[in-house]
Amino acid sequence: MIPLTRSPAHFTLLCRDMVYGVLDTALQAEALCRDLTALGIPGVQILSGPSGLVDLDRDGHHHGVLCRVARAAQGLTREHDFIGWYAEQLEAGHMLVCLHARGRA
| Alpha-helix residue ranges (DSSP H) falling in 6-63 | 26-38, 49-56
Cβ count near 91 (within 10 Å): 13
Task: Give domain status of residue 3, yes or no.
Answer: no
Number of separate domains in the chain? 1
Cα gap 95→38, rounded to integer Å:
20
Q: Which residue has the higher pLDDT, 64 or 7?
A: 64
Spatial neighbors of 89 by CB under 8 A, at least 6 apart, are: 22, 96
Task: Give domain status of residue 49, yes or no.
Answer: yes
pLDDT tens digits, one per residue of 9-38: 555 555 567 788 999 999 999 999 999 989
Task: Give domain status of residue 2, yes or no.
Answer: no
pLDDT tens digits, one per residue of 44-80: 889 999 988 888 777 767 667 776 777 677 777 777 7
pLDDT at 23: 97
Do 47 and 62 contact (CB within 8 A), yes or no? Answer: no
Q: Domain span at residue 71?
A: 13-96
Task: Give domain status of residue 34, yes or no.
Answer: yes
Banded pLDDT at 96 (limits 50, 70, 90)? very high
